[in-house]
Amino acid sequence: MEKKLRLGIFGFGVVGQGLYDIIKTKRLNIEVKKFVIKHPEKKRSLPAELFHTDPNEILEDPEIDTVIELIDDAEVAYDIVSKALRNGKNVVSANKKMIANHLEELVAIQQEFGTSLLYEGAVCGSIPIIRNLEEYYDNELLHSVSGIFNGSSNYILSKIFNEDLSYEVALKQAQDLGFAETDPTLDVGGFDAKFKLSIVASHAYGLFIDPDKILNIGIDGLTEADIRFAKEKNLRVKLVPTARKINDHQVILYVMPKLVDSENILYQVENEYNGVLVQAAFADQQFFYGKGAGGHPTGSAVLSDIAALRYDYRYEYKKHLTKTPSDDEIYSVNWNLKVYLRYKDENLIEKLGFQEVHERYASEDFKYIIGTINLRNLLDNRDLLRGDDVYVIEKP
């Protein structure tokens, strides 16, 4: 039976404003009672009495039953969300870093206090991938979940490959449109995609994996030489998080730029759009497509969670309950990948331990090698892969 929800919302930025815009257009049994914001001096489009700076205005208000967390600071967000759940309030969050870093604790809190935390808006904007992994694929054997999870990086790459813009100009456009932050490191460094991948792995494979244990290579090291290499071979670069089952019980997770050809469905995913590709044993291949950045797409996913709470919906984490090996036994980094590596230092090739070399090129200002390398070696040497003189891309 549907019930009325009384909301307290933390944050009134791009997503908060987008959510409120959507709520205004819907006839839902929802009342927005209060906002808590960080900067009270900013001009707002709503009455000033709705806005507060003290979190307890929401967390200690007995009339507010649902907390919406839409702030940037992951640790502050964790304090807000965990306290709200302990206070008997259900929570909707879009903070992928906070959720990825604290999901195991948050699940335990929900189970102890009988509350619900939903976070569809934290992963791939408007695409309902978490709910599908929870419900549609709950008894399915998943071979892999991969795709384009970060709209900001995809927008930049689209402008580079479709309009010949430089990385710097494309990034500035993404920032001007609100797709990328002033400090874009989380997006272009592949960290945002890694947090989302960690959450996806939890619902796809029943894993709680510390994001620090997952390799992430972003697009911030991409140079004209790499772009020219891809274009000469009629390929594009996409930032692709991958969760893949490699045998009966082990799963690999990594985020890397990937060279894709026109036969790959991700080739046509452009601008701020996301695309999630699910390969399953029985359902075969399925593809989810939608906007992955912007206030309204993410706001729509947040509203979907709010609407689900009217009927007491909660994630059941079924795959956590049914798996038998430990997370450490399931999660593996022992897997060989074929990569393109641009480099300057010859010693790096020895450190990375290429198992096979398929192609090698060297000129005065550009050297690359294409070969097979173990994921563990990439992870162990990830700090060496983030300099100006080196870049690695997965090659199919």
Active centre residues (catalytic): 196
Determine the 3-state secondary structure of 113 from DSSP. helix
Query: What is 32-100 written as a DSSP string?
Result: EEEEE-S-TTS--SS-GGGEES-THHHHT-TT--EEEE--S-HHHHHHHHHHHHHTT-EEEE--HHHHH
Give the span between the Cα atoms of 333 and 277, in whole angstroms.
21
Question: How far is C-alpha 292 from the chain's CA centre?
Answer: 9
Give the span between the Cα atoms of 11 and 17, in whole angstroms.
9
Q: Which residues pair with 6 in a beta bridge?
A: 31
Determine the 3-state secondary structure of 168 from DSSP. helix
- The residues near 250 (Cβ < 8 Å, ≥ 6 apart) are 329, 330, 331, 332
Query: What is 308-337 written as a DSSP string?
Result: HHTTT-----HHHHH--S-HHHHB----EE
